Structure 1
Amino acid sequence: MKHVPVLFLVLGSLALAGCKAEGEQADAAPPPRPVLSVLAAAPPDRATGFAGTVQPRYQTDLGFRVLGRVITRTVDVGDRVKPGQVLMQLDPMVLDLAVRAREADLATALAQLSNTTAAETRSETLRDKKVVSQAEFENTLQAREAAAAAVEQAKAGLAKAREQRSYATLSADVDGIVISVDAEVGQIVAPSQKAITVARTDEREAVVDLPEEVARTLSNDTRFRVALQSAPSVAAIGTVREIAPQADATTRMRRVKISLDTPPEAFRLGATISAAPVEAGADRSIELPVSAVLERDGTPRVWVVDAATRTVKTVPVVIARRDDTRVRIAGGLDVGARVVIAGVHSLTEGQAVQTDGKANP
């Protein structure tokens, strides 16, 4: 019986040891959750600019309104032209003959009107003397009115022939520069066929092709500094006028047109330029995948990994721009912070996480 207390002491010690092990297991923290993350980084500085050319905002394709053979061309590509300046002429022989024919028709109509007018006067005198009847007088009156209508018709035909005669001369209608010549002397041209292209010089713009990731951050009020590549000190400020809705199938670049404010005279059509956003040096916004953002109480937030404790916390952010794949953060997030970009709706405040440290935007 002396061994009974010793047995109870051993059993009690084992029970206490078992309870302690279970408590330690319950108090152990769950393993860190693996997450996919990126380092918040500002977009690269684009102050170096993108290459492009100076182009006219408006250009006109000029052509003849009548069929004919070109006999004269007075301009070449690159020539400056003024309104009313003759650019090209057709052989006018057929048109001159048409004018002469209409002049003859008018002369005939005028002679007929003179005869019928005299006949009407005689018939009226004879009617007053009761020599001819009222019916005969009305016949001469009708003949005179028909002759007058024929004169008007002949005048209209002559005006039309003279107008068509003027179509044998192709003239400039604005100040501009010839950028294309598509008809040569001796060539037969059809009505409305393009013969010469004139670009207006009063409104010029810079045309640049930008990468997709750059073009989608622009808007129609984005300002650019545009400088000549041959003389970087010669520059002008412009505003984005048009952004191509789709990228080019070959280059995968999107064309952007920038209206220039009072460009220098050195900005000639075709000149090579370099265009950079005016705010490029000050743009410190951060771009992230759209999957990194979650909404809480109507406020956009992102999960930031604490490098010291390896836990996550949410921070409110200000969104400047968003599309289907990317979001641009304008405030609330520091450059260099590590942001979780996947599974953001299943994390909790202070949860331990494990990052591979390799994923970057």
Structure 2
Amino acid sequence: MKRALAALLVLAIAAGAAWWLDLPTRLGFARTASGGLTLYGNVDIRQVQLGFRVSGRISAMTVDEGDAVAPGQVLARLDAQPYLDAVHAAEAQVANQAATLAKLEAGPRPAEIAQARAQLAERTADLANAALAFDRSRRLRPGGAVSQAVLDQNQSAKDMAAARVDSAREALRLLEQGTRAEDIAAARASLQAAQANLASARTSLADAQLHAPASGVVLSRVREPGAIVAPSDTVYVVSLAEPVWVRTYVAEPDLGRIHPGLAVEVTTDTAPERPYRGRIGFISPVAEFTPKTVETPELRTDLVYRLRVVVEQPDTALRQGMPVTVRVPQAGARDG
């Protein structure tokens, strides 16, 4: 009986060891005789939904579904007239503020200063006449030749003339001192605000054209000319051609055999004899459960680490979502 139990225990240990050694193969990770790894994954699906950053009416759409697009290519246009009008208004405001600033920086003209001096001389002469009239009335008042009312009127006229002289003198002093630094700073700030508004208007005008962010293929044409769109509306869906990423997974026992930058080969089922060169560009720092694309029912609790392989010089034969094989020769050997 003891011998039978011992035999069963040995068989269980052997079966467990065989199951563990075969785990990478059943997960889709195979070790080669040369010490490399064979991983299985898919080309990442990389799409972008394109829309305008401003609202308006679509005036033209230049590409259709299935068309290849180049970086910066114009895909659609909005009616730009409202944005042109905003640019013209902003340009006029900038010109107005620039003229105001130039006027303040230049200060008063020589003719304005000469006019102020002449006005001061005129006010000074008026004060002299008013003073003579007051002195004459003051001397005649004791004899009764001038009434008290006349004397009071001449006194008031003299005081008013003196006040006008002071006002003219201060006005001349202000002109001679020039514009206040605070007024110039305020005008300069107003000009900068107007320039910022102009830049914003020009940006909105440029945003009335929809450009392709990268090379790719149009998957969906969502809108048509004449449609009114908001900034959040999708106009095109484009599949990005580059860079091409392959998503694959590595089991925890083989995690130490790879590293970012490690050269790999990527092959497809269509042309396995023509491998693509690539490099491991990303290794997830967090383990995750085996994804359904590679798991089997009995291995749902096993953990793996996600990899991103960047394919060098891809072509149109590598299509998004396509299953591929990733071979890691001499895994663990870092490039010199």
Question: Offset at 1:168?
Answer: 1.0
User: 2: distance between equivalents of 1:55 and 1:152?
Assistant: 47
Which of 264, 267, 277 is the matching residue for 1:227?
A: 267
Which of 296, 301, 312 is the matching residue for 1:262?
A: 312
- State the partner residue of 2:229: 189
Question: Offset at 1:137?
Answer: 6.2
Question: Offset at 1:128?
Answer: 5.3
Pair 1:126-2:115 in alignment? yes
Superposed, 1:150-229 pairs within 5 Å as 150-174=190-214, 176-178=215-217, 180-181=219-220, 183-185=222-224, 186-198=226-238, 200-208=240-248, 215-219=251-255, 220-221=258-259, 225-229=265-269
User: 2: distance between equivalents of 1:249 and 1:264?
Assistant: 26
Pair 1:135-2:159 in alignment? no
Counterpart code for 1:125 = A
Question: Offset at 1:265?
Answer: 2.7
User: 1: distance between equivalents of 2:217 and 2:115?
Assistant: 70
Specify every segment of 5 or more residues in structure 1 that has no aligned partner in the other structure, as ranges. 1-29, 284-361
Specify every segment of 5 or more residues in structure 2 that has no aligned partner in the other structure, as ranges. 33-37, 121-167, 296-303, 332-336
Task: Kindly indicate whether the alpha-carbon contact (under 8 Å) linking 1:234 and 1:264 is maintained by their aligned counterparts in 2.
Answer: no
User: 2: distance between equivalents of 1:218 and 1:188?
Assistant: 54
Superposed, 1:294-333 pairs within 5 Å as none
Task: Kindly indicate whether the alpha-carbon contact (under 8 Å) linking 1:236 and 1:260 is maintained by their aligned counterparts in 2.
Answer: no
Question: Offset at 1:258?
Answer: 4.1
Change (3 A) 1:187 1:136: farther
Per the normalisation by structure 1, the TM-score is 0.51
Task: Kindly indicate whether the alpha-carbon contact (under 8 Å) linking 1:206 and 1:273 is maintained by their aligned counterparts in 2.
Answer: no
SS in 2 for 1:120: coil
User: 1: distance between equivalents of 2:263 and 2:196?
Assistant: 56
Which of 51, 76, 84 is the matching residue for 2:72?
A: 84
Q: Which protein has greater RCO, CA pairs closer than 8 Å, 6+ apart?
A: 2
User: 2: distance between equivalents of 1:250 and 1:207?
Assistant: 13
User: 2: distance between equivalents of 1:277 and 1:161?
Assistant: 53
How many equivalent pairs are there? 247
Task: Kindly indicate whether the alpha-carbon contact (under 8 Å) linking 2:68 and 2:218 is maintained by their aligned counterparts in 1.
Answer: no
Mean CA deviation greater in 116-125 or 78-87: 116-125
Change (3 A) 1:187 1:247: farther
Q: Percent identity among equivalent residues?
A: 26
Cα RMSD, aligned residues only = 4.5
Task: Kindly indicate whether the alpha-carbon contact (under 8 Å) linking 2:246 and 2:311 is maintained by their aligned counterparts in 1.
Answer: no
Task: Kindly indicate whether the alpha-carbon contact (under 8 Å) linking 1:207 and 1:255 is maintained by their aligned counterparts in 2.
Answer: no
SS in 2 for 1:37: helix
Question: Offset at 1:178?
Answer: 3.6
User: 2: distance between equivalents of 1:60 and 1:267?
Assistant: 20
Higher helix share: 2
User: 2: distance between equivalents of 1:158 and 1:177?
Assistant: 34
SS in 2 for 1:133: helix
User: 2: distance between equivalents of 1:187 and 1:246?
Assistant: 45
Change (3 A) 1:120 1:152: farther
Question: Offset at 1:104?
Answer: 3.5
Change (3 A) 1:198 1:129: farther
Per the normalisation by structure 2, the TM-score is 0.54
Task: Kindly indicate whether the alpha-carbon contact (under 8 Å) linking 2:41 and 2:326 is maintained by their aligned counterparts in 1.
Answer: no
Higher strand share: 1
Question: Offset at 1:66?
Answer: 1.7
